[in-house]
Amino acid sequence: MKQLLILSGKGGTGKTTVAGAFIRLGQTKAYGDCDVDAPNLHLIMSQDIKSIRKDFYGLDKAVIDQDLCIECDLCRQKCRFSAIEADFGYRVNHYACEGCSLCEFFCPQGAISMKPAPAGELMLYNDNETVFSTARLKMGSGNSGLLVTEVKRQIKESNVAADLAIIDGSPGIGCPVIASITGVDMVLVVAEPSISGISDMERIIRIGEGFQVKMAVCINKYDTNLKNTERIENFCRERDLPLLGRIPFDSQAVWAINNGLSIIDIECRSGHALRTIFEKTMKILFE
């Protein structure tokens, strides 16, 4: 199974829009959303079946046994994250707790222990013909890179026969993105012609080059700043990166997304542009 990952380096460039369109165009039977902090691919890829849900556990969190606690205050004094609250008996604020277990080490009564705490939720839609894997990280939780790995694992271990998996990546260049890139066959970078968009595109390309994975670029909303679009084209030319096409700003695309549709589901300029980009992407991926 070939894996195509769609990234942007920042949020709001349109990578989910591109991913949804690609899934429609390729009639893809395996796809996933690795933006576990704010997943939204499911909004345009509606499912007719119920998802299989299970908790994802990250780092253990500290728990104080009220029966053993003598309120010596050592745990609160030692905690560098201010996670110990002492207003109405000593308790741990799980949003602040980093799971370092220092409080457990210093507790003279053994009243503190580290226990598994759900950090997110994995969701899998699988009807034996199509598989869609996604997840949602709980507010304040960490280890999103591990959760991204689990999202990809669910696709790989599914019983669906598919020669292509399309993955909607997460924004930025941090741990979730690195986990998303690991093991994929190609990365398509969706760039936008803005100062921050160009900067983030350059950063994500440097990350991808470190993984020695096939990479290509497309420009979304290219006509909002033609000068910056030219800068992106020059950058791709200098790096010998395939530039697969330009997508115009399209109010019809906004309407489609707001109504839970892919831009391929309607007749619009942006959809026509994406069809060409999809064909070029598939050629590079399977060559």
Same domain, 74 and 209: no
Distance between CA atoms of 144 and 180, rounded to whole angstroms? 11
* pLDDT beneath 70, residues of the chain: 143
How many folded domains does the chain comprise?
A: 2
Question: 3-state SS string over 151-184?
Answer: HHHHHHCCCCCCCEEEEECCCCCCHHHHHHHCCC
SS3 44: coil
C-beta of residue 179 within 8 angstroms of C-beta of residue 148: yes
Length of the chain: 287
DSSP, residue by residue, 119-136: EEEEEEEE-SS-EEEEEE
Query: So what's the pLDDT on residue 13?
Result: 87
Query: So what's the pLDDT on residue 188?
Result: 97
Distance between CA atoms of 105 and 100, rounded to whole angstroms? 10
pLDDT in tens, 51-95: 899 999 988 999 999 999 999 999 999 999 999 999 888 999 988
For helices 195-210 and 226-239, give the axis angle rounded to 10 degrees: 20
Residue 269 CB partners (closer than 8 Å, separation 6+)? 248, 250, 252
Same domain, 193 and 74: no
Q: How many CA atoms lie within 13 A of 188 on its CB side?
A: 32
Look-up: residue for tokens 């109010």?
A: 251
Supply φ then ψ for residue 206, to 5 degrees.
-60, -40
Query: So what's the pLDDT on residue 67?
Result: 94
Answer whether residue 196 is part of any domain. Answer: yes
Same domain, 7 and 98: no
Residues paired with residue 122 on neighbouring β-strands, in sequence order = 54, 135
H or E segment to which residue 251 belongs: helix 251-258
Query: So what's the pLDDT on residue 61?
Result: 94
Same domain, 74 and 176: no
Which one-letter DSSP state was computed for residue 50? P
Same domain, 88 and 136: no
Q: Which domain holds residue 97?
A: 61-115
- CATH (domain of 260): 3.40.50.300
Query: So what's the pLDDT on residue 160?
Result: 87
